[in-house]
Amino acid sequence: MDLQHLTDTLPTTPALVLDADTLRENLAVLQDLRQRSGCKVLYSIKALPLSSVLEIARPYVDGFAVSSLFEAKLAAECLPAQASLHLSTPGIRPDEWPELAALLTHVSFNSATQYLRLAPNTPASCALGLRVNPHLSFLDDARFNPCRAHSKLGISLDELWQSSYLEQVQGLHVHTVFAATDFKPLIATVAKLRSYFGKDLAKLKWLNLGGGYLFKQIADHRPFIDLVLQLRHDFGLEVFIEPGKAVVGDAGHLLATVLDCFVSDGKTVAILDTSVNHNPEVFEYQRQPSVYGHDPKAAYPTILAGCTCLAGDVFGEYRFHQPLAIGTKIVFTQVGAYSLIKAHRFNGYNFPDIYVHQDARLQRVKHYAYADYHQQWSAQA
């Protein structure tokens, strides 16, 4: 997708533009892994559950991974009959479980107590599994480290080892990383599982290796392929992966327009018609998203700021070759995952429109109106 052409032609901002070619490129990488290793691929829809993405992904994947009843319902509407639908979450509501379980092909219970309470009420159509926590920390930031101290995510290997649960379930699930660009964590995780359970792994039917790997950014896929082939050969396991960001992350661009521009304490500030609320991880993790046209050596430093009243609603300081002016369009790149799904309308600023770019055409697939905001905040009589 030509970003300059996009900024010149996009009719409305703020807008999330999804590039269908990039989505298909990402999915083709996963399909190649599927063919070479025999693993099964699920799109983890939490990254972006937009129906256009689910429809594009459907022919490339074996199913979807979900976290809740709403996600499961949305996924089930799009999936063909034979597809897999996996769930793992710390927060299954007992009142929702019958409806949710009926939609699933696999569940990985997050704790022993969750398993003991809900397994007896799970239909035979849903294979029982457990999420395990190998207590291998690969991430420095505890906010997104599933293996942090006192983690709420997964049963510890020691607890599982001392129980008889492994005999009672058909599968295990592990998820330990975020945005990993090599397979070392996965290799260490599987080695730890093997060291605990050895040949007993052959009593299981499946192993879900979670998400968290940016497959396209990893040059050598051989270690992954060998790992999966070995698990299939040594234990006869069906191996799943459930990437989210690897599917949709670099396919999404957030376009905004400069609404105002002024100097504050000696620095130029540009106010955009978007905010960090359209990409909340910028604020949550103090992450600075990439911007098209930013060059660290360029002459015009500018603070890109969101339009809300929050002082910290700021994307960061960037440098441009031309001074920004009111009306200039800004493109944040690689923001397809965990952006719009976490977005909200603080201060009453609307959500971005959503466009899909496909076959050199831009199609607007979503627009929110005042009626949506009114519906959200009008109390029911």
Give dist(CA 120, CA 49) in Å, integer: 30
- 40 is an interface residue for ligand PLP by CB under 6 A: no
Min dist CB 44 to ligand PLP, Å, is 4
Question: What are φ and ψ of residue 361, in 5° steps?
Answer: -120, 145
Give dist(CA 111, CA 82) in Å, integer: 28
Per the DSSP assignment, residues forming a β-bridge with 351 are: none
Nearer to ligand PLP, 44 or 122 (CB): 44
Nearer to ligand PLP, 6 or 343 (CB): 343
Nearer to ligand PLP, 87 or 270 (CB): 87
- 244 is an interface residue for ligand PLP by CB under 6 A: yes
Min dist CB 132 to ligand PLP, Å, is 12
- 245 is an interface residue for ligand PLP by CB under 6 A: yes
Pick from 6, 26, 127, 175: which binds ligand PLP (CB under 6 A)?
A: 175
Give dist(CA 247, CA 87) in Å, integer: 18
Task: Yes or no: say if 5 and 362 are a contact pair by the CB < 8 Å rule.
Answer: no
Pair of tokens at residue 108:
């990985």
Give dist(CA 338, CA 285) in Å, integer: 12
**The amino acid at 245:** K
Pick from 19, 242, 313, 353: which binds ligand PLP (CB under 6 A)?
A: 242
- 243 is an interface residue for ligand PLP by CB under 6 A: yes
Burial of 110 (0-12, 13-18, 19+ CB in 10 A): buried
Task: Point out which span in 5-13, 242-250, 294-302, 339-347 binds ligand PLP (CB under 6 A).
Answer: 242-250
CA distances from 286 to 70, 316, 334 (A): 29, 9, 16
Per-position x/- string for 61-100, each x denoting binding to ligand PLP as judged by CB under 6 A, each - no binding: ----x----------------------x------------
Nearer to ligand PLP, 109 or 320 (CB): 109
Min dist CB 120 to ligand PLP, Å, is 24
Nearer to ligand PLP, 14 or 212 (CB): 212
Q: Considering only residues 196-215, where is the footprint of ligand PLP by CB under 6 A?
A: 210-212
CA distances from 240 to 135, 172, 275 (A): 21, 10, 36
Q: How many CA atoms lie within 13 A of 198 on its CB side?
A: 1
Long-range (24+ apart) CB contacts under 8 A made by 77-82 are 78/51, 78/54
Pick from 7, 13, 37, 44: which binds ligand PLP (CB under 6 A)?
A: 44
Nearer to ligand PLP, 7 or 110 (CB): 110
Give dist(CA 328, CA 82) in Å, integer: 48
DSSP 204: -
Nearer to ligand PLP, 244 or 352 (CB): 244
- 26 is an interface residue for ligand PLP by CB under 6 A: no
Size of the site for ligand PLP (CB under 6 A): 15
Give dist(CA 308, CA 357) in Å, integer: 29
Nearer to ligand PLP, 109 or 178 (CB): 178
Min dist CB 308 to ligand PLP, Å, is 26
Give dist(CA 218, CA 215) in Å, integer: 5
Min dist CB 81 to ligand PLP, Å, is 24
- 111 is an interface residue for ligand PLP by CB under 6 A: no
Pair of tokens at residue 171:
């599968």
Nearer to ligand PLP, 238 or 313 (CB): 238
Nearer to ligand PLP, 175 or 357 (CB): 175
Instruction: Pinpoint the alpha helices (H) of 240-279.
Output: 245-248
- 351 is an interface residue for ligand PLP by CB under 6 A: no
| Contacting positions for ligand PLP (CB under 6 A) | 44, 47, 65, 88, 175, 178, 210-212, 242-246, 337
